Amino acid sequence: MKVLLHILFWLAALGSVTSTIYCGMVIAAAMRFGLRKRREQREAADYLPPLSVLKPLHGTEDGMERNLETFFEQEYPEFELLFCARHATDEGLQLAERVGQRYPHVNAKYVTCGEPMPKFHNAKVYSLAKLNEVAKYDTFISSDADVRVTKDYLLRMVQTLKDPHIALASCVYLGTAHQGAGFSSQLDAVGKSVEMTSGVLVADMIEGTKFALGATMALPRRSFQDVGGFDELGQFYADDFVLGNRLAAQGKGVRMATHVIRLMVQDSPFWLSFRNQLRWMQSTRRSRPWGHFGSGLTFAMPFGLFGLLWGVLSGHALLGLLWLAAMVVNRWLQAGAILSVLGDPDRVLNALIYPLRDLLGSILWLGSYGGENFYYRGKVYKLKEGGRVEAPE
């Protein structure tokens, strides 16, 4: 029993120290991001190249009509909206066409690419390859179907390319559950806001941005070819990470824009939400094995629970409760800093529930080491070293 108590104490102490240090780094990174955001918002938005906006689609989901509308409502002088799905009967593509009919002044095209070829295990990249063929302009803005934006989105995102040395810019996002969504979706949304943004901003503060977030990206057409082209990117699940990482390795500028978009989170039962989040954790483990391993020490709640268990078993229950409470406050501080700089209107409620998401995140992190198979859109795939995807079984 004595040995067990020693193990619990030192494990709890180690994780509490590392997660507290990390919390301090997140707060510093959030302040740095906020200062840069205010500075860039005051600068003249005078870089206005014509844009091709690439939107791969596959089916529909709740809120997608409004997501698409926000792209047709952009206040930008010259751009085209390009939508691609596998087949003309795709419900997402048909929805985009119906929305487009309400905005006849917007130049929009709707194309199909067919089923991905065997070498393209990433269907999104297969759609991007087709969109690249039909794009009129050489400056791209790509985005996923679950992204919702403000009217100045194109204007703000493209300013990051004003510097000719920048080969790619992406941005952080505010995870947003649909009104009336269940608690599991709310936890997923706050995790996308806080956990993801925390890691991104700390990494940018320490070593600069050496990756991209694929929810939306601004980049010249040539950047895709500089990393091996669509055939190469199509072999990876986390194509966005590979794209940004390879550009950074070549010495090309990769930047995190200060503009913030919304990433809409579907109302899903807990088991489905868990499986989707686990898939991303598995991908991160393959793409960044050592960084992912170290991220296990950034969680706070599991170590707070270890501290509580140590207190109860050692006869110091009050101290154990205080230990757990300290870790809860730790996560409140982290979430508060990130949600404030993201401009979350529900920051208080989301910060309050974040300790539960932190605990769930640690479980997902542990589960990411459970195997190489993942389920996606009705098929089972295998993630190999470096994030490459094997053919479905």
- For residues 90-119, one letter each, b for 16 or more C-beta atoms within 10 angstroms of the residue's C-beta and e for the rest, the string is bebbebbeebbeebeebebebeebeebeee
pLDDT tens per residue, the chain (393 residues)? 788 888 999 999 999 999 999 999 999 999 999 999 999 999 999 999 999 999 999 999 989 999 999 999 999 999 999 999 999 999 999 999 999 999 999 999 999 999 887 777 788 999 999 999 999 999 999 999 999 999 999 999 999 999 999 999 999 999 999 888 899 999 999 999 999 999 999 999 999 999 999 999 999 999 999 999 999 998 888 899 999 999 999 999 999 999 999 999 988 888 877 887 877 787 787 777 778 888 999 999 999 999 999 999 999 999 999 999 999 999 999 999 999 999 999 999 999 999 999 999 999 999 888 766 665 555 666 666 666 666 555
Provide the CA 112 distance to its chain's centre, in angstroms. 26
Domain extent listing, the chain: 45-293
- pTM (two decimals): 0.91
Q: Are the beta carbons of 239 and 125 closer than 8 angstroms?
A: yes
Residues 6+ apart with CB under 8 A from 192: 173, 175, 263, 265
Helix or strand (DSSP H, E) at 273: helix 270-287
- How far is 90 from 81, CA to CA, in rounded Å? 17
Q: Check if the beta carbon of residue 174 is closer than 8 Å to that of residue 260.
A: yes
Fold classification of 45-293 is Spore Coat Polysaccharide Biosynthesis Protein SpsA; Chain A (3.90.550)
